[in-house]
Structure 1
Amino acid sequence: MILSRALNSDDPPISSSTTPPEVGQKPVDLNDGVHPFQPLVPVLTGVAVAILVALAIAYGRSAGLVAGLWGASGVAVAVWLRTSRGRNSDMTFAGVLTVSILIGEIIAGNNPLLALAFTIVNMIEIVAAVLLARRFSPTLNLSSLNGAVSFLFFAAVLAPIPAALASLVILNQMGQADVWQGFQTWWFGHALGIAVLGSMGLSLTRTTLAKLFRPAKMVEAAILLGLVPVFYYVAFAGSIPMGFVLLPLLLAIAVRLGVAGIAFTLVVVSFLLVGGAMIGHGPYTQGSPPEQVLMAQMLVLIGYMPILLVASLLEERDLLAERARLGRERAEKASEAKSRLLANVAHEIKSPVAGIIGIGDLWRQGHLGPITAQQTEMSEMLVTTARQVETLAHDLLDVARAESGAVRVELRPTDIPGLLEDVRRTCLLRPDADKVAIEVVCEGDGLIAIADSQRLAQVLTNLTINALKYGSSGGRVILRALREDDCVRIEVSDFGPGLSVQKQAQLFEPFNRLGLERSTVEGHGVGLALAKRLVELQGGSIGVISAPGEGATFWALLPKA
């Protein structure tokens, strides 16, 4: 933002100002509930705007310059966006602000016609800022990077441009030759006012103030803000301005006090830099007064305002981290509830199923009276189905216990080749192993892992049974053990149809049978989910390598003894 060239004492000062009324679209209300003094807000805002207009013009005239920091626009835009509640409220704000700016212009000594012209131009700027903020930053949330960037670019950078162009007509009528400098004067001063005061107004929400008004945070804020004039003096007291000296302090304020803290600090720094330059005590002493003010304005806008975006990014990160924490807690509670439900259901299933198996065995063996061949077949089907349900109940109990941490593993050195041989012999007894060769391959010596032998045997048996079910078309299954870095790698490979990448991503999800629910292959989709949890409980990891038509290799990595 830049100051215009000096005006004659008879020339009316260039003014700009406050917030606009907006059409239709209701901005997001950042206040919690309706305040009892809500109807007075437009009036109080109008009083503040009128005072700021008069002070800015008077201060600029005393220095022979136009105001270099137009605060009325920033205050008006922030309050309008924060409190307006629909079309009627917008119209009220528009009327009150128009009258307030006009009064401020007249109090400052402008003739009525010129005061009216500047009032119209100021209202064009304020309305544009409110419209653009509502359109491109509808949440008005400066605690997100996108919200802060949108507000600063559209409301502070773009909105003053039409008004600045309109001001050129007024400057020409006033007989000012340097039209470009008039444009700079308007745009820089008003952009800075909306950027610093508007940002501060939008960031001071009840939530923000509640955080800042904690005793420890208030002490910290007092210390950090008290250091601002010290750093300012160090940076600009010498013959060579060193604006970078303020950067570490501003970054610290952004980190510790957030968007509201850094916005307030930027307001203070802007008044020190731009106000000092207007009265000849600014950090830059070379060039004409308007050029000195311009340098001060650019230092704030380009050098210091980006720190507000850093604070927005940090607050957004903290908010996302908090949401992730709450989501994780909800997921853990849901998982615990699901585990309890699984355990209860499985426990309730076991007793009646055991009774069904017992009755089915008695029926099949003829202890309930003579039976026909058809009844024998039906009783065998009954017992087989009941045993499947019993197996499912046991698996569900294991899954529930594993998820809740109730499964205990006794980790000790385990001979993997011997364990694989035991698994092979167990699986050879299954009916579906008749036409499949099960081989054990051990590569190297010292294949001793730290594991729970019983749980690991359960996992490997599950993987081998799956290989027999789904990969029997390949004719063989290989159980392999080998060394891999500080781990023992165990593989169960089949040469069946293999798995697509999409199916591999769903393999270890409970109750997901990958579309085989209607196939003749028995299963419930619990085994792999249980295997994954049991391996992880033993400090290992599990996965699969497969491609369509190339079989599948399930692997488990366990720490080496």
Structure 2
Amino acid sequence: MTASPADPSADPVRKEPVAARTARAGRSSAAAFFNEPLAPVIAAVGVVILVVLAIEFSRSAGLVAALWGAGGLAVVVWLRNARGPMYDLCFGSLIAVGVLVGEFLAGNPTSLAIMFTAANMIEIVGAVLLARRFAPSLNLSSVEGTSRFLLSAAVLAPIPAGLFTSVFLSVLNGADFAYSFGTWWLGHAMGIAVIGAFGLAVTRRNLAMIARPMKLLETVLLLAVLTAVSTAIFSRLSLPLGFVVLPILLVIAVRLRVLGLTAALLIVTILAVGGSMAGFGPYALRFEGADRALMAQMLVLLGYLPVLLVASLLEERDRLADRARAGQARAERASEAKSRLLANVAHEVKSPVGGIIGIGELWQTGQLGPITPIQAEMAEMLVKTARQVEALSHDLLDVARAESGAVKVELRPTDVRGVMEDVRRAVALRPESRDLKLELVCLGDGLVALADSQRLAQVVANLASNAVKYGASGGSIVFRASRVDHVVRIEIIDKGPGLSADKQAQLFEPFNRLGLERTTVEGHGIGLALAKRLTELQGGTIGVISQTGEGATFWIELPAA
């Protein structure tokens, strides 16, 4: 039953409850900010605010701006809204106006305001171009994507702007070139790395991961603990708890992945750099002036920011694990479909083949009327071929049942000598075995295995049949059993042409006859695959030892009773 257009709980167009759409919209609102049409205007206003805050706070502390967030905000919004050259031109112009307005509002003279605006635009445009060139996916869910973004946008992009600013200030005010460059690069690189990474991590997928109530509660608690510890370290308290921050960041990386960690880095960066600039924290007593901010910057860049690579690695592992699980699920569905097909085909083949065998035997024995010798030979060939098809249908049915888990084995103490003797006698009655010497060798006592006697006989019979087909040229086949510790070992040994290492690797694959499809040796390539599956169902292992020209030894090992 669908809701009427007047029903307020549903949308008449999309047939989706409004409550569900509202919840989804709430989860993705933060991610949608970066892609909204008004994002450039909001970004420009944000740039103005961040410029004024950075300059005013640095002046109040008597230092230079140690964390420049305006560049990071502009870069991430620009990258998330790439829509062509005309958009780039308009967005860049809007950001330039925002930086210039912020400089004027902060009270900088016109020459410095224009110079700083030009330097900021060189940096922002460079970061956008480098990120598009070297990190086009903007994907922080992999170590490579994160490394590319940090190296191109955060490390390299501030260098030209820093050189430009340092030269200008050294010529205009006689400022120290190296000091000016280091101050610019550290503050701006950290702003792009921390704020830019956080902006790229805010995606619908990442927000959906933490939108679940318990995960959201865990996120709030972990970030609250980090905020409390960081405040205690980098405030008037100046508690000696700096060693606690890194473990908390690692826990956040493990539990909340990239989005949670970038938010944590943003919090700890603001508190560490701001507190150090204000004269608090572990660097207040040991360093003077701008050196306090420098140490806080180095702490964040070299001590805390590398944890982002850990979060990216974990997220990459999650993605690969999800892909592997999806592939496994598809493979299992395909295997189940194949097993059902095999079972259906085998079942449908058995009935008509049984009728053909019955008619052929009646024809062969003359019960349908007098027959000529040629007709008798043709009837015998008909029955033989039909029985081969019948045997194939039984094997197919067994393979399908084994793969689907429908085969039941009843494990009980089984006399291995008796099973092997029964199989040897049955094989000796076959016409193709009349020129072969079939020998049974049982070494020692205690040859009692924990197995299903019927299934064990089927496995040994398959191996023996395989030896008769492919190893008959050696003239003899040995059935050997022995006991080693708590394992009973069964071996079927032939003196045939042997197997190469490549063929041994493919030996137990179903329907793989190792290139012998066009030879006179009959077979369908499922006997060994069935033997392997039945052996494993009995808790045993199966394998082969062979070299080209030296025959083959197929072995089974089962737990002793």
TM-score (norm 1): 0.89
CA distance in 2, matches of 1:388, 1:159: 75
2:79 aligned to which of 72, 81, 85: 81
Q: What's the RMSD between the two structures over aligned residues? A: 2.4
The one-letter code of the counterpart of 1:508 is F
Is 2:348 the partner of 1:359?
no
User: Following superposition of structure 1 onto structure 2, how do residues 2-401 of structure 1 map, counting pairs within 5 Å?
Assistant: 38-232=36-230, 235=233, 242-285=241-284, 286-401=286-401
Deviations 1:51-96 (A, max 9, x none): 2122212222232322111111211222222232333433332222
Mapped contact 1:141–1:202 kept (Cα < 8 A): yes
Secondary structure of the corresponding residue to residue 543 of structure 1: strand
Q: Secondary structure at the match of 1:493?
A: strand
**What CA distance in whole angstroms lies between the structure 2 residues aligned with 1:260 and 1:49?**
22
CA distance, structure 2, for counterparts of residue 241 and residue 427 of structure 1 = 83
Q: CA–CA distance in 2 between the matches of 1:541 and 1:201?
A: 54
Write out per-residue CA displacement over residues 384-440 of structure 1, whole angstroms, 9 at most, x where no aligned residue.
221111111111111111111111111100111221121111111122222322222
Give the counterpart letter for 1:479 in structure 2.
F
Q: In 1, Cα distance between the equivalents of 2:456 and 2:112?
A: 89
Counterpart of 2:539 in structure 1 is: 539
Contact 1:235 1:245 in 2 (8 A): no
Instruction: Specify the code of the residue in structure 2 equivalent to 1:425.
Output: R
Structure 1 residue 451: Cα displacement? 0.3
**What displacement does 1:32 show?**
12
Cα distance in 2 for residues equivalent to 1:88 and 1:508:
63
Partner of 1:7: none
| Closer, same or farther: CA 122–495 of 1 in aligned 2, 3 Å | farther
1:474 aligns with 2:485: no
Identity score, percent: 63
1:38 is paired with a residue whose SS is: coil
Alpha-carbon contact 2:31-2:202 (below 8 Å) kept:
no
Q: Is the 8 A contact 1:277 1:289 kept in 2?
A: no
Supply the AA of the counterpart residue of 1:159: A
Moved more, 447-456 or 42-51: 42-51
1:496–1:551 Cα contact (<8 Å) kept: yes
In structure 2, how many angstroms separate the alpha carbons of the residues matched to 1:277 and 1:386? 90
Tell me, yes or no, if the aligned pair for 2:232 and 2:238 is still in contact at 8 Å. no
Matched positions, count: 532
- 2:551 is aligned with 1:551: yes
Q: Distance in 2 between matches of 1:190 and 1:171?
A: 17
C-alpha separation between the residues in 1 aligned to 2:275 and 2:367? 107
Per-residue CA distance 1:164-189 (angstroms, 9 max, x = gap) = 22222222222334211111111111
Question: Aligned AA for 2:381?
Answer: M
The gaps in structure 1 that reach 5 residues or longer are 1-29
Displacement of 1:33 after TM fit? 11
Q: Is the 8 A contact 1:273 1:283 kept in 2?
A: no
Letter in 2 for 1:232: S
Range with greater deviation from structure 2 (343-352 or 36-45):
36-45
TM-score, with structure 2 as normaliser: 0.89
CA shift digits 1:462-495 (9 cap, x unpaired): 0011011111222222222222342212222222
2:231 touches 2:271 (CA, 8 Å); kept in 1? no
Partners of 2:82 and 2:201 lie apart in 1 by 16
In structure 2, distance between residues paired with 1:184 and 1:191: 10
Deviation at 1:249, TM superposition (A): 1.6
Deviates more, 1:46-55 or 1:364-373: 364-373
Q: Is residue 227–residue 267 contact of structure 2 (8 Å, CA) maintained in 1?
A: no
The Cα shift of 1:300 comes to 0.8
Q: Give the secondary-structure state (helix, strand or coil) at the position aligned to 1:39.
A: coil
Which stretch shows the higher mean deviation, 244-253 or 322-331?
322-331
Change (3 A) 1:42 1:421: same
